[in-house]
Structure 1
Amino acid sequence: MSDEAQAPGQAVEGDLPAAIIKRPDGIFFAREASPRSCLSAVSQVFLSSSYFAGLDYAILIKLLYNCGPDLPANLASQPMIRFAASIEPFHPTRRTLYKAVKLINGEAEYFFEPVFFEIPDMPAQPARLNFDEFVSDMWVKGVRFGIDAPAIRDVISYGRVARIVVARRLARRRDVTRRSRKCRRISTAAMRRARKRWQARSAGFPEPLPAGQGQCPPAAQGAARDGRARL
């Protein structure tokens, strides 16, 4: 999830940014395009009331933010990387199906429920959400990273009513470093406390005697055995 915000652009499918290539077999990122130019191009498409149909979200996030698993070797070696099937218009009547998202402490929470088309002078018509549209709508609302694609696809496909965390913020490098240092400090302090407890516990026991000391002489051991036998 990202806190970035941009004003809506005026990009249309016939005037795509240079980083995106449209072909009959899909939508591709140009190999020479930088992550920044790809991010700007994707944002331009989303903010122009369009969405990527047949979107491979894992590839999209990998190329935009370098997060997630590495690309397959056969895909990484291609001159262009396919990440969607087509670019489609996101009609206003469809966009109204998507409700507000709740942003709390770096997490985006969304309530999935049955949706309907509101048509004047007609009963409400049942409708279904679409994952690709959902990604576009969340982008416009500021959620631009960390969408839990499997969970959302599952809720949409089964039409379940559920309130779930749909995305988590991208951790900044300095935040990760700070947490790592804090964990090391906590770990070191815990080891020191454990060492002190062990030393305090060990102080209550006598030091072990050197070998040969503190043992009964053989005669005394024999007498002890005789005494036990008489008992």
Structure 2
Amino acid sequence: MSNSSDPSWRQVIVVEDDADIRELITAQLNRERLEITAVGSVADLRTALEEIDADLLILDLNLPDGDGVEVCKALRAENYQGAIMIVTARNSALDRVLGLELGADDYLAKPFEPRELLARVRNLLRRSRVIDGGIPRTARFVRFGPWRLDLNHRRLVASNERLVMLSSAEYRLLSQFIDATNQVLSREELAPERSATVAYDRTIDIRVSRLRQKLASEPGGEDLILTVRNEGYILPGPVAFE
């Protein structure tokens, strides 16, 4: 099921060396308005990325010619802008945290329920920077408050050209706020990988606090991210793309 000539269709690459699981994921995704490319190795992924401007990668960690975590890290270093979801049998807390810190947007353990896979894919594509209404593909900077966000190098630029580096987690968090300017984002929306425990898990609050500290280092940046009691957080506009 495909229609690559229709720009409303999203491009997804499934990277899975197990043919049965690869076919299962592809079959589930074919129910959606998606253009699916399925590959079984890092080399085939690299070839596919030369031809496809993918909106989402569904990435296994145990690949015959490389480790998925390292692939994720390398792609983010190369400024791959699409969403990355890790789907793997490696379900240790260390693997999960490492994958998310190195640039993955979500982490799903095998075996998984097909409906959960679809729900997570839909969520990632909704909030991906490359979909309609998000950050334009041609943008180099996003200007908000006293800051510019350098999209190529993932860093903040102050009015005097002072640079503030962002971790992968901080960059993803700020991108979520920019994509949803003037909208309240719940903790579940900001951390879907922790949705089951987010009510008791203060990780997202710590991430927001660290990001706020960096934004507050420039005059006028103290109140860029506001807390909405019992609901979540919001980045009031305006923002401008350059």
Is TM more than 0.5 here? no
User: Normalising by the residue count of structure 1, what TM-score does the alignment of the two structures yield?
Assistant: 0.28
- Which structure shows the higher helix fraction? 1
Q: Which of the pair has the greater relative contact order for Cα pairs under 8 Å at 6+ separation?
A: 1
**Between Structure 1 and Structure 2, whose CA radius of gyration is higher?**
1
